[in-house]
Amino acid sequence: MSTPWGTPDQERDTWTGQYPPLDVHGIYPWSILDTRTTEWKNRRKFWDETIEDGTKGRDNTLYAHGKSGYHTSINGGRSAFDPVLTELMYTWYAPPHAHVYDPCAGGITRGAIAHELGHTYTGVDINDLQIAANRVLGPNDATWICGDGTKQHVKPQSQDMVLTCPPYHNVEKYTDHPRDLSRMTWDEHLDALAEAMEQCYTALRDDRYMVWVTGDLRDSKGHLRGLHHHTASIITDAGFHLVNEHVLINAVGTRHRMLRRWWSPTRSAGRLHQHVIVAVKGDRRRAADTVRRQPHC
């Protein structure tokens, strides 16, 4: 059967004639991904128990510093990447046994889950302490490179997926390195993102996906800076085609303490979401064909 949206019969299992499930442990590929659901929380618990230090990957010396120390005082400054989001992105967008490239690696989460799902991972981070910690805590088959993610670190056309989460400009500050994306001016930051994007495009094979996680922020006057809009433009300028934007909804958690401070003086709503931008290099149907369902673990 062929439909205007594709040929779903290609998805059928050759032997059983069955369609593979669309969901990953009850989580479906909608444009909204809600971390507050029971399914998400259950899976999060699984990964927290499965990967030793996998959702942390940062020791005390690696905490980022939020503006005015607020972030630090709320959750110890730790912003670990969500392991469930990582699993979903690999399952939906990576071919089997993929080489995954990550120009702003942060902690070990994306490397550790790549390992668990049978992928190999190369993570670059400008923070030498972070890379040293990752080499100890992360999987043996991951490659951790201390360097600037805006430069070339892997051979052109050698990677099957990009999954990354660069700094949301200066929301968290990481190092004093002049090339740290969180230390740059806004304009320098956007230029550096464009450089990193070009490297990702060069690194990827044709017909492969890139997943870029980002979030918006406010400038020094409190006006909204739509980093995800800028990022989408930078992505297409580099030659990618946009495929999806998943909005990742986070729990309120301890943020409710800050809501009045944000809202009362300027009507700044508390932000509870991030943006997961998915793009393709090459042909989106051929890219989908390269992705086969990986077995649930």
Ligand X SMILES: C[S@@+](CC[C@H](N)C(=O)[O-])C[C@H]1O[C@@H](n2cnc3c(N)ncnc32)[C@H](O)[C@@H]1O
CA pseudo-torsion sign 250, 256, 257, 260: positive
User: According to the binding rule CB under 6 A, does residue 150 interact with ligand X?
Assistant: yes
Question: In the range 267-286, which residues lie near ligand X by CB under 6 A?
Answer: none
Select the residue interacting with ligand X from 101, 149, 207, 288 (CB under 6 A). 149
Stretch that binds ligand X, among 25-33, 42-50, 171-179, 271-279 (CB under 6 A): 171-179
Q: What's the min distance (Å) between Cβ of 2 and ligand X? A: 41
Q: What's the min distance (Å) between Cβ of 289 and ligand X? A: 30
State how far the alpha carbon of 107 is from the alpha carbons of 124, 131, 135, 174, 248, in Å.
Answer: 11, 8, 10, 12, 19
User: According to the binding rule CB under 6 A, does residue 216 interact with ligand X?
Assistant: no
Q: Indicate the residue among 58 and 284 with the shorter CB distance to ligand X.
A: 58
Stretch that binds ligand X, among 32-40, 99-107, 242-250, 256-264 (CB under 6 A): 99-107
Vertex 115, ends 284 and 297: CA angle to 5°?
A: 85
Q: What's the min distance (Å) between Cβ of 129 and ligand X? A: 9
Stretch that binds ligand X, among 4-12, 42-50, 172-180, 280-288 (CB under 6 A): 172-180
Select the residue interacting with ligand X from 131, 163, 167, 238 (CB under 6 A). 167
- Rounded CA-CA distance 215/248 in Å is 10
Q: What's the min distance (Å) between Cβ of 116 and ligand X? A: 16
Total Cβ atoms within 10 A of residue 201: 18
* Token pair belonging to 251: 């729990």
Any residues with CB less than 8 A from the CB of 157 and at least 6 apart, and which? 202, 203, 204, 205, 206
- Rounded CA-CA distance 175/191 in Å is 19
H or E element, residue 281: strand 273-281
User: According to the binding rule CB under 6 A, does residue 166 interact with ligand X?
Assistant: yes
Question: In the range 35-94, which residues lie near ligand X by CB under 6 A?
Answer: 79-81
Output the CA torsion 59→140→206→82 (10° steps).
-30
H or E element, residue 144: strand 143-146
Question: In the range 103-142, which residues lie near ligand X by CB under 6 A?
Answer: 103-104, 106-107, 109, 124-127, 130
Looking at beta carbons, which residue is closest to ligand X? Answer: 106
Positions touching ligand X (CB under 6 A) are 79-81, 103-104, 106-107, 109, 124-127, 130, 148-150, 165-167, 174-175, 179-182
